[in-house]
Amino acid sequence: RTGFLRHYAKALRTTNIFSVLMSRFEGAIEANIVILKKYGVGLFVYSMISSLFEEFIPVIGTYAYAGYEFVNKGNMSVSGFSVVLSSVSSVRDVTLEITQCFDEMNQMALYFQNLKDFFDYEPRIVSGDKKAGKFESLEFKNVSFRYPSAQKNSLSNVSFRLNKGETLAVVGINGAGKSTLLKLMLRFYDATEGEVLYNGVNVREYDLATYRNAFATVFQDYKNFALSVYENVMCKPCTDDEKRLAAQALKDSGAWRKISTLSNGGDTVLTKEFDENGAGLSGGENQKVSTARLFARDFEVAVLDEPSSALDPVAESEMYDSLARVTEGKTVIYISHRLSSATLADRIIVLDGGRIIESGTHGELMALGGKYSEMFSLQASNYSSEEAENYEN
């Protein structure tokens, strides 16, 4: 299937990976040929004997008996003989259909078993009874977490507190544990050890829907759906008032300049999956549409996980200006390995190997001369090199 999925197109055309796929495919065909050679004759004989007893003998036997009664004994009229032949044919067809149905049911049962297993699955994340109120604080208290079947912890003894109105940046290299921290925060998983507290209460006690509704999130692996742009922003069918709200959110995220040029504006369906007139957006434009969801809703805490990963520097700067305006007075968490967002934060925590190794303001961490200072200086030097190169060109 990789041959017709567009996500694989560039890799297939610019690498030799298709030859690897073909060798695997040819290997599977050769394995099937070996199986057919081993069992094919036996299956053919079984099929012939099965057909002989299931169809040929009963039908020919019935026809012979009816013919014998009609010709030799004269006990059967022409019309009766015709009815017998017709009935035998009908019974044979019905019997074959029933047999095929049982065969198909046996095959479908394999798929239904998967479906049954899915519906029977009991989620490990169980909703509590308390309604999550207005945000006052979020605290990680000696939190450790290990993914199922993992050999070591992804987070180890992490502790910090975020109060209402604060802006927190969580930074670190890839694999430091930033995304795991976010998953525990939103309770996609529960901590292996320690507690995550919302307003001083363990998050396990809260109703999942009301708890997660307190957070407005923008993920780095953003997803838009084959719905209209407005529906993607509002995440529901839109009234005229909601469309106006969505349009303003798209302006705040920087996506409106592109959306306004589409054939149906914000009513244009994204992707051509279900609409041949649907719009295909670039990676950066898609991320702006996804980010607009944050601007379109009221929230207690904004969680931004690499919100500018697909944006160019100009678009990134414009988006952060809009975020600073919309989130003024709100509680904001930036999760990133790009440190441009960290300078906006009241406090920065640095993760490395699943542990908090540094914490403080941008100025304090730069003066400390530790991991954060090293990463920030390295990224700043890269930007300086790029700017110098662009100036020379």
User: What's the confidence (pLDDT) of residue 295?
Assistant: 84
**Residue 133 clears pLDDT 70, i.e. is over it:** yes
Confirm if 145 and 192 have CB atoms less than 8 A apart: yes
What's the chain's average pLDDT? Answer: 83
**Residue 393 clears pLDDT 70, i.e. is over it:** no
Higher pLDDT, 122 or 186: 186
Is residue 127 domain-resident? no
**Residue 82 clears pLDDT 80, i.e. is over it:** no
Q: Are residues 116 and 152 in the same domain?
A: no
- Give per-residue burial for 110-136: e unless 16+ CB within 10 Å, then b: eeeeeeeeeeeeeeeeeebebebeebe
User: What's the confidence (pLDDT) of residue 263?
Assistant: 85
Q: Are residues 156 and 67 in the same domain?
A: no
Q: Which of 120, 149, 176 finishes a domain? A: 120
**Residue 282 clears pLDDT 70, i.e. is over it:** yes
Q: Are residues 258 and 113 in the same domain?
A: no
Q: Are residues 285 and 383 in the same domain?
A: yes
Q: Are residues 151 and 202 in the same domain?
A: yes
- Which of 105-109, 323-327, 368-372 has the least mean pLDDT? 323-327
Is residue 76 domain-resident? yes
Q: Are residues 265 and 383 in the same domain?
A: yes
Is residue 21 domain-resident? yes
Look at the chain and report how many structural domains it folds into: 2
Range of the domain at 6: 2-120
Is residue 286 domain-resident? yes
Q: Are residues 39 and 82 in the same domain?
A: yes
Mean pLDDT in residue range 289-297 = 86
Mean pLDDT in residue range 117-139 = 89
Q: Are residues 115 and 179 in the same domain?
A: no
Q: Which of 90, 120, 150 finishes a domain? A: 120
Q: Are residues 299 and 327 in the same domain?
A: yes
User: What's the confidence (pLDDT) of residue 387?
Assistant: 45
Mean pLDDT in residue range 292-319 = 77
User: What's the confidence (pLDDT) of residue 146?
Assistant: 94
354-376 pLDDT, tens digit each: 999 999 999 999 999 999 999 88
Please enumerate, as own/partner, the contacts of 160-165 that have beta carbons within 8 Å and a separation of 24 or more: 160/349, 160/356, 160/359, 161/137, 162/137, 162/138, 162/331, 162/333, 163/136, 163/137, 163/331, 164/135, 164/136, 164/137, 164/331, 165/329, 165/330, 165/331
How far apart CA 316 and CA 306 sit, in angstroms, is 11
Mean pLDDT in residue range 216-231 = 85
Is residue 349 domain-resident? yes
Q: Residue 374 carries which side chain, given as an amino acid letter?
A: E
Is residue 285 domain-resident? yes
User: What's the confidence (pLDDT) of residue 355?
Assistant: 94
Question: What is the length of the chain?
Answer: 393
Q: Are residues 303 and 381 in the same domain?
A: yes
User: What's the confidence (pLDDT) of residue 130?
Assistant: 93
**Residue 226 clears pLDDT 80, i.e. is over it:** yes
Is residue 43 domain-resident? yes
pLDDT band at 119 (very low <50, low <70, confident <90, very high): confident
Query: In sequence order, what are the residues at sequence separation of 6 or more whose Cβ sits closer than 8 angstroms to the Cβ of residue 370?
Result: 350, 357, 358
CATH number at residue 187: 3.40.50.300
Q: Which of 120, 146, 181 finishes a domain? A: 120
Q: Are residues 106 and 147 in the same domain?
A: no
User: What's the confidence (pLDDT) of residue 8?
Assistant: 81
Q: Are residues 171 and 107 in the same domain?
A: no
140-161 pLDDT, tens digit each: 999 999 998 888 999 999 999 9
- Which of 7-16, 24-33, 237-246, 257-266 has the least mean pLDDT? 7-16
Is residue 110 domain-resident? yes
Higher pLDDT, 385 or 137: 137
**Total-model pTM:** 0.69
Confirm if 360 and 347 have CB atoms less than 8 A apart: yes
